[in-house]
C-alpha cells in the first residue's frame, strides 16, 4: 500500500517512473497537503493563499522527486520545509493569487481538509463569555486584534510570561467549550 510507504520509498517510486509513479505521487500529496496547508495558514493567514501554497510546494516537490533532485530522501521533511519557506516569500510578494495548478493530483490535494472550522457566532460569544474577563481580553487581543504578546502585556499590565500562560489556558478552555456536547443543543 502506497499510503503506508515511507517517504524514501515514495520518492524512489516517483523517480523510477513507470506505472507506480502516479500512485506514489498521489500518496505523497495526500500525506503532505494538510500539513503544508497548516503551515500556509499560519504564515499567510488566508485560506485561499494557503491552497495556493499547497499547490506550489507540492508541484516543486514532485518535480524535484521526478528528477531525482531530493538528495536525502529520508530528510524529505526538511526539503518540504525549505520549499514552503521559499514559496511563502514568493506568495507574499504577489499582489493577487498564484497561477492555479492544472494537475489533477495537485488540485485534489489543495482542496482537502481545511484547518478552519466554521464556528457558530452565538456559541463562540457564549463560550467567550464563560471565560474570565482577563482571559477573554488576552484571547481577543492576541488572536482577534493580532497583537504581539509584548503589546498585550503592556495593555493589560501583565508580564509577557503571564500573557502566554493565560493565552494557552484560555484557548484550551475555549476549544473545550466549543467542542462540548451542549454546542449541538445550544
Q: In the complex, which residues of this chain contact other proteins (CB under 8 A)? A: 32, 34-36, 38-39, 41-42, 45, 77-78, 80-81, 84, 115-117, 119-126, 129, 139-140, 142-144, 146, 148-149, 164, 167-168, 171-172, 174-175, 178, 186
Query: Considering beta carbons, is residue 65 or 149 the nearer one to other proteins?
Result: 149
CA distance 124 to 130: 10
Query: Considering beta carbons, is residue 17 or 115 the nearer one to other proteins?
Result: 115
Q: How far is the CB of 27 from other proteins (least distance, A)?
A: 13
Q: Coil, strand, or helix at residue 113?
A: coil
Q: Coil, strand, or helix at residue 71?
A: coil
How many distinct helices (H) and strands (E) make up the chain?
Answer: 10, 0
Cell 507506480: give the residue: 20
CA distance 36 to 42: 10
Longest dimension (CA), the chain: 64
C-alpha cell at 105: 493530483
Query: Considering beta carbons, is residue 20 or 34 the nearer one to other proteins?
Result: 34
Q: How far is the CB of 104 from other proteins (least distance, A)?
A: 24
Q: How far is the CB of 85 from other proteins (least distance, A)?
A: 9
Query: Considering beta carbons, is residue 16 or 143 the nearer one to other proteins?
Result: 143
Q: How far is the CB of 149 from other proteins (least distance, A)?
A: 5
CB-based contact 101:59 (threshold 8 Å): yes
Amino acid at each position: 500500500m502506497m499510503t503506508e510507504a515511507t517517504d524514501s520509498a515514495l520518492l524512489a517510486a516517483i523517480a523510477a517512473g513507470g506505472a507506480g509513479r502516479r500512485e506514489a505521487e498521489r500518496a505523497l500529496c495526500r500525506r503532505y497537503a494538510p500539513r503544508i496547508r497548516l503551515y500556509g495558514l499560519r504564515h499567510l493567514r488566508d485560506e485561499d493563499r494557503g491552497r495556493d501554497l499547497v499547490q506550489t510546494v507540492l508541484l516543486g516537490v514532485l518535480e524535484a522527486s521526478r528528477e531525482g533532485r531530493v538528495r536525502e530522501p529520508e530528510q524529505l521533511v526538511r526539503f518540504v520545509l525549505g520549499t514552503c519557506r521559499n514559496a511563502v516569500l514568493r506568495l507574499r510578494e504577489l499582489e493577487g493569487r498564484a497561477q492555479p495548478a492544472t494537475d489533477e493530483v495537485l488540485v485534489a490535494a489543495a482542496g482537502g481538509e481545511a484547518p478552519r472550522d466554521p464556528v457558530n457566532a452565538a456559541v463562540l460569544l457564549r463560550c467567550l463569555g464563560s471565560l474570565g474577563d482577563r482571559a477573554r481580553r488576552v484571547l481577543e487581543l492576541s488572536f482577534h486584534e493580532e497583537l504581539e504578546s509584548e503589546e498585550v502585556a503592556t495593555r493589560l499590565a501583565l508580564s509577557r510570561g503571564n500573557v502566554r500562560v493565560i493565552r494557552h489556558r484560555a484557548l484550551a478552555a475555549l476549544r473545550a467549550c466549543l467542542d462540548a456536547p451542549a454546542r449541538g443543543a445550544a
